[in-house]
């Protein structure tokens, strides 16, 4: 269960839109060019990708890992299909939100705006137009010469998000890795790979029909 809530906290904070630091802008618009490249890359009707996720709880010295497939359709629609270690699916149509755990026959339901609205959530991927406000951004050396690394510090830090790093492919501006840190030093890494921008996922992949007899749990909307 930790993976689901770690993911929701992560994407609920990751995808607040960033602001370019003035000094870096004056130094040649390097950061602005990177962001513009990402915007151009993801300004598409939709895409799919595979993902690997690692969540590290520092105080408990616990690391959880998961992997699966992501579908995105603009604006605001996402489907995260977890395959390993346990099957579960997180679906939003931009309005409603479902988290389905088939082995427990449980569906958690809520409203997407409570988790993804007002600049929160995976708007970075499902609505690339909101990428330009909310963070102080600096460029850092990346140990991989094929990647750009951006450090993002939110203008208003929260318990859930103190800092984020984005690793971006230089050759095509694919978002390769998202790393977030909370106030406790916990770390969440999401790596994206095998993108497919050619085939847009159909609309019906972003709706969910609750199975008969499933245990339905209302998610906290605060």
Q: What domains lie within the chain, and their CATH numbers?
A: 2-218 (2.50.20.10)
Instruction: Determine the pLDDT at residue 108.
Output: 94
Instruction: Determine the pLDDT at residue 137.
Output: 83
SS3 for 191? strand
- What are the tokens at 6? 């770690």
Instruction: Determine the pLDDT at residue 156.
Output: 77
Low-confidence ranges of the chain (pLDDT < 70): 1-29, 113-124, 130-131, 221-222
By DSSP bridging, strand 135-140 and strand 147-154 are antiparallel
pLDDT digits (tens, 9 = 90+) for 32-54: 999 899 889 998 999 999 999 99
Q: What sign results for the dihedral spanned by CA atoms 210, 222, 116, 59?
A: negative
pLDDT digits (tens, 9 = 90+) for 70-89: 999 988 899 999 999 999 99
């Amino acid at each position: 269960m930790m993976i689901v809530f770690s993911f929701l906290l992560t994407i609920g904070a990751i995808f607040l839109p960033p602001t370019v630091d003035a000094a870096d802008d004056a130094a040649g618009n390097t950061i602005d060019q990177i962001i513009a490249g990402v915007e151009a890359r993801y300004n598409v009707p939709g895409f799919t990708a595979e993902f690997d996720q690692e969540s590290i709880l520092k105080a408990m010295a616990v690391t959880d890992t998961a992997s699966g497939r992501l579908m995105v359709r603009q604006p605001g629609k996402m489907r995260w299909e977890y395959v390993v270690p346990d099957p579960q699916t997180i679906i939003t149509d931009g309005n409603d939100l479902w988290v389905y755990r088939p082995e427990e026959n449980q569906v958690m339901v809520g409203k997407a705006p409570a988790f993804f609205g007002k600049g929160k959530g995976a708007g970075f991927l499902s609505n690339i137009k909101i990428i330009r406000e909310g963070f102080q951004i600096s460029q850092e050396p990346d140990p991989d010469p094929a990647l750009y690394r951006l450090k993002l510090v939110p203008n208003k830090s929260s318990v859930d998000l103190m800092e984020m790093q984005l690793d971006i492919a230089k050759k095509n501006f694919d978002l390769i890795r998202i790393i977030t840190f909370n106030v406790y030093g916990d770390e969440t890494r999401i790596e994206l790979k095998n993108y497919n921008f050619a085939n847009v996922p159909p609309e019906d992949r972003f709706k969910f029909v609750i199975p008969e007899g499933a245990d339905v749990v209302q998610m906290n909307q605060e």
